[in-house]
Amino acid sequence: MTSQDQKAAAPVGASGIPAPDKQRWLVLVVVSVGQLMIALDTTVASVMGPELQRDLGLSPIGLQWVFNNYIILFGGLLLLGGRLNDVIGRRRMFLGSLALFTAGSLLAAMAQTDDQILIARAIQGLAAAGLSPACLSILVVSFRDPAERAKAFGVWGAVIGVGAGLGTLLGGAIVDVNWRLAFYINIPIAVVLTIGAMLLIRGGAPSGPRPKADVLGGISGTIGLGALVFAIVSVTDHGWTDVRTLGTFLVALVLLPAFIVIENRAEAPLLPLRLFRLRGVVAGSLGEFFTAGLMIPCFMLLPIYMQTVLGYSPMETGLAYLPTTLAMMIVAGPLSKAIPKIGAQLPYVVGTVLLGVMVVLLIRTPTSGSYWTVMLPITTLLGVGLVLCLIPTPTVGTSMATEDDAGTTSALLNVATQVGGALALAISASVLQGRLTDLAEQGQVGPAALNEALHWGIATLFVWVGLSLLTGLIGFRGLPATPPAAADGSSPDAGDGAAPGGPDPAGEKATDRAGAPVAAPAAP
């Protein structure tokens, strides 16, 4: 794309910085709702298990794979989806992935057999791998002003946590009517989002020279990451020593190092390794990894406690998460305004401490008790702690990434989220199952035994609390609270108008956000 093309793509002010897009806040609404759909469908199935088993004849293992299929495809294809956003255009990826996600939702809603629901969830996971990095990268390039981007990330961080909470709430409420509505509801939302994206989101197909395709990197990275996620989620069903678990871990152990070697030599790598030299990217990814490791087990294991031990109905289970959602919505606004002033480290560390207190309460839950004294403190701490962690991490994680790598950086943060959440859930669930088996051999069964086993499984989260605290105290130290304002005159949507590594309109050598020189890949 030429300099003239870039100037035509976005108005530029006297300072040389592109004038802000007047529709950027509407764009934020569109991509936030898109991310909300993904978050909802990650947890919505957690409280509809009995209904799925009754209507579709799912076995307990099949029921677990309603969740696993979604996570494996989502996590395994994120890097590829993120890079495709940078290469073929964020707007196109958003619209295409949204259409595929809608098709998967329709198939899930109409499913009559176990195979159909599993295929539908796989399609949703495949689509989410393209849609999630598209949403975040569109946000990154739409908000170039540091203060405004901090506010936008405040909304974004709240959406991820609120979506997980609403997924459980929505699942519980809808199960009492018809579980299929949880998937049907995606269709009208997707139609509105499609119209909004076509009207509001800039960019089309790239018009500049395209770099050579990183075929070997795509194959090794996708299969390696997919194998890693598959192995992690298989632990819950088959254990750590099962042949399938060990075999897929071995595949990941071989392919992921090979992927790094390939990326180091590729002209246009799927994952530019220079991103790992940016401390903000590394710290943000670790923050996402450990925060998700605390979030996902809470949304997956707490319903077991509430329904099996306390005897809550699906509706009551969903409503029990209402304080989580409300806490996030209340804290998100003031926090996003405060971060540019106080920095990202303080809220992240405080959030981790609150989540640690929540874990302490979780390992002390009784077999009976009032909601007000047992679940209310836990769900409130969960909401406040998560929002204090979820808002700073994408701000820090994307603060040093270049425009051309917005999609890849977004995918990297998403990969950290999916792998962190899946690994923590696999570890806690396997410890829970092991303790439950030991208690059964001792003749202890029923809600009391399950409650004790849950305490053992949840206790593993202390490791994640400790690592998250170290990340906040060391990794976040000294990092900017907001991304530096762009001063290169490039278009906010340049990633949709030029191939990665395209010519610098100012005729200057390209640099990343940290000031390091970035070599443009040679045109084929």
Question: Could you write out the three-class secondary structure of 403-433?
Answer: HHHHHHHHHHHHHHHHHHHHHHHHHHHHHHH
How far is it, in rounded angstroms, from Cα 494 to Cα 5?
Answer: 10
Under a CB-based contact definition with an 8 Å cutoff, are residues 213 and 237 in contact? no
For residue 440, pLDDT beyond 70: yes
Q: What are 348's two structure tokens?
A: 């992240």
**Residue spans of beta strands (DSSP E) within 73-124:** none
**pLDDT class for 203, splitting at 50, 70, 90?**
low
Structure confidence by residue, pLDDT tens digits, 83-124: 788 778 889 999 999 999 999 999 999 999 888 998 999 999
Give the chain's radius of gyration (CA, Å). 22
Structure confidence by residue, pLDDT tens digits, 346-369: 999 999 999 999 999 999 999 988
Res 398: pLDDT: 81
Q: Positive or negative CA dihedral for 468, 78, 31, 190?
A: negative
Under a CB-based contact definition with an 8 Å cutoff, are residues 278 and 399 in contact? no
Q: For 29, how many CA atoms within 13 A lie in the half-sphere containing its CB? A: 11
Q: Which of 314-323, 360-369, 504-513 has the highest mean pLDDT?
A: 360-369
Residue with tokens 């990202």: 344
How many other C-beta atoms lie within 10 A of the C-beta of residue 265?
9
Q: What are 6's two structure tokens?
A: 């870039």
For residue 305, pLDDT beyond 60: yes
Res 205: pLDDT: 54
Q: Over range 77-84, report the average pLDDT.
A: 83
Query: Could you give the C-alpha distances from 178 to 66, 234, 329, 396, 397, in angstroms and in order?
Result: 17, 29, 28, 41, 40
User: Considering only 161-175, 265-279, 429-443, 454-468, which range has the smallest mean pLDDT?
Assistant: 161-175
**Angle at 518 (CA atoms; ends 517, 520), nearest 5 degrees:** 140
Structure confidence by residue, pLDDT tens digits, 165-198: 676 677 667 766 788 888 898 999 999 999 999 9
Query: Could you give the C-alpha distances from 49 to 36, 182, 340, 355, in angstroms and in order?
Result: 22, 13, 43, 27
Helices and strands in the chain, H and E counts:
21, 0
User: Considering only 92-106, 379-393, 490-504, which range has the smallest mean pLDDT?
Assistant: 490-504
153 Cβ contact partners less than 8 Å away, ≥ 6 residues apart:
139, 336, 391, 394, 395
Q: Which of 88-97, 397-406, 496-505 has the highest mean pLDDT?
A: 88-97
Q: Over range 475-493, report the average pLDDT.
A: 57
Under a CB-based contact definition with an 8 Å cutoff, are residues 294 and 458 in contact? no
Between 201 and 494, where is the model more confident? 201
How far is it, in rounded angstroms, from Cα 199 to Cα 176?
Answer: 37
Q: DSSP label at 89?
A: -
Res 74: pLDDT: 86
Among residues 461, 463, 459, which one has the least CA distance to residue 363? Answer: 459
E strand or H helix at 98: helix 90-110
To the nearest 10°, report the CA torsion of 158, 160, 164, 169: 50
To the nearest 10°, report the CA torsion of 80, 82, 87, 93: 100
How far is it, in rounded angstroms, from Cα 467 to Cα 482?
Answer: 24
Res 499: pLDDT: 36
**Residue spans of beta strands (DSSP E) within 186-228:** none
For residue 491, pLDDT beyond 60: no
Q: What are 309's two structure tokens?
A: 């031990």
Under a CB-based contact definition with an 8 Å cutoff, are residues 361 and 454 in contact? no
- Mean of all residue pLDDT scores within the chain: 80
Res 66: pLDDT: 82
Q: What are 12's two structure tokens?
A: 């530029």
How many other C-beta atoms lie within 10 A of the C-beta of residue 503?
17
**pLDDT class for 473, splitting at 50, 70, 90?**
very high
The rounded percent of the chain whose pLDDT value lies above 90 is 30
Res 136: pLDDT: 84
Res 165: pLDDT: 66
How far is it, in rounded angstroms, from Cα 374 to Cα 362?
Answer: 9
Give the amino acid at 412. Answer: L
Q: Over range 467-475, report the average pLDDT.
A: 95
